[in-house]
Amino acid sequence: MTGTGRRRRLFVPRDRIADGRAQIGAAELHHLHHVLRLAPGAELEVFDGEGGAYTALLAEEGGALTLVLGPRIDAPAPRARVHLAFALARGERCDLVVQKATELGVAGLSPFEAARSMVRLDAERGAERARRWRRIAAEAARQCGRADVPVVDAPAPLGRVLALAPEGFRKVLFYEGGGEPLADVVDRAALGHLLLVGPEGGLAPEEVEACVTAGARLATLGPRMLRFETAGIVATALVQHLAGDLGGGK
């Protein structure tokens, strides 16, 4: 399915939802007024980024706009949980990966600095970049109809990403040097999959060894050399499909 028709949706974090009302912040107010051009009495859908959605009525109370919410409706749990860890890259290529991986249904995104990454971020710049990616993920979730928003971590060393992999997740490193067919690596019985995509220059040998030591299986995306952002998007789509959450059937 493509597009979301004319459905009007707004993201409001769950900590700003209480007593049947959603607190409208400056960003949401701008979206309601200047993007959706809604007036009191308009109906829309609010999602809280944690899997809940609400029918909402835009109302004016005490001279201020508020959203009056219906009951919380829990979105169906995904059939597969996929986290994507990707190396930092120059330009807006990471933005594209975050956007498309969110549309494809990933539960988490973990950027990491690789030995051959062309980008180096200090803590302050890394935190700012993470905030940008969280905004991109929230907007992508709104547009594609998700009721949840993937967790987006601040950039971290590869070793930390491996160490903090969720318990029970199968780790899969997409390796340009070859590996097993992806269909043999994906395990529907696993609690989830952590996908590791390196920079265009590939991971250094010691990084590959660290991934394998941490339990990662090496997988291949085929004979063609893919750009960084293409590899991240394709890897996500294929694993989501094989794990049963993207046209994967029962």
Question: Does 106 share its domain with 173?
Answer: yes
Q: With 90 as the cut, is the pLDDT of residue 49 above it?
A: yes
130 belongs to a structural domain: yes
Mean pLDDT of the chain: 90
143 belongs to a structural domain: yes
- Cα 134 versus chain centre, distance: 8
Boundary-marking domain end, from 24, 58, 74: 74
1 belongs to a structural domain: no
pLDDT band at 77 (very low <50, low <70, confident <90, very high): confident
**Total tally of structural domains belonging to the chain:** 2
Question: Does 39 share its domain with 89?
Answer: no
| Cα 229 to Cα 86: distance, rounded to the nearest angstrom | 9
134 belongs to a structural domain: yes
In the chain, the amino acid numbered 170 is R
Residue at token pair 């109809």: 145
More confident residue, 196 or 75: 196
More confident residue, 5 or 200: 200
Question: Does 99 share its domain with 13?
Answer: no
79-125 confidence digits (pLDDT tens): 789 999 999 998 899 999 999 999 999 999 999 999 988 888 899 99
More confident residue, 66 or 110: 110
pLDDT band at 46 (very low <50, low <70, confident <90, very high): very high
Provide the domain limits for residue 130.
82-242
Lowest-pLDDT range, 5-14, 35-44, 99-108?
Answer: 5-14
Boundary-marking domain end, from 41, 74, 107: 74
| Cα 150 to Cα 109: distance, rounded to the nearest angstrom | 7
Question: Does 175 share its domain with 55?
Answer: no
**What is the predicted pLDDT for the residue at 7?**
65
**What is the predicted pLDDT for the residue at 186?**
94
Q: Which of 121, 220, 127, 203 is nearest to 159 (CA)?
A: 203
CATH code at 59? Answer: 2.40.240.20
Residue at token pair 């769950």: 14
Question: Does 34 share its domain with 130?
Answer: no
| Cα 197 to Cα 90: distance, rounded to the nearest angstrom | 15
pLDDT band at 6 (very low <50, low <70, confident <90, very high): low
Q: With 90 as the cut, is the pLDDT of residue 65 above it?
A: no
| Cα 89 to Cα 116: distance, rounded to the nearest angstrom | 10
141 belongs to a structural domain: yes
Question: Does 61 share its domain with 182?
Answer: no
**What is the predicted pLDDT for the residue at 176?**
85
pLDDT band at 248 (very low <50, low <70, confident <90, very high): low
Question: Does 103 share its domain with 68?
Answer: no
pLDDT band at 1 (very low <50, low <70, confident <90, very high): very low
| Cα 56 to Cα 233: distance, rounded to the nearest angstrom | 33
Query: Got the DSSP string for 65-117?
Result: EEEEE---EEPPPPS--EEEEEE--STTHHHHHHHHHHHHT-SEEEEEE-TT-
Question: Does 164 share its domain with 117?
Answer: yes
CATH code at 96? Answer: 3.40.1280.10
Question: Does 50 share its domain with 87?
Answer: no
Question: Does 167 share its domain with 213?
Answer: yes
Tell me the pTM.
Answer: 0.89
49 belongs to a structural domain: yes
Boundary-marking domain end, from 58, 74, 90: 74
105 belongs to a structural domain: yes
136 belongs to a structural domain: yes
In the chain, the amino acid numbered 43 is E
Q: With 80 as the cut, is the pLDDT of residue 247 above it?
A: no
Q: With 80 as the cut, is the pLDDT of residue 3 above it?
A: no
Question: Does 63 share its domain with 87?
Answer: no
Question: Does 92 share its domain with 47?
Answer: no
143-182 confidence digits (pLDDT tens): 999 999 999 999 999 999 999 999 999 999 999 888 999 9
Q: With 60 as the cut, is the pLDDT of residue 33 above it?
A: yes
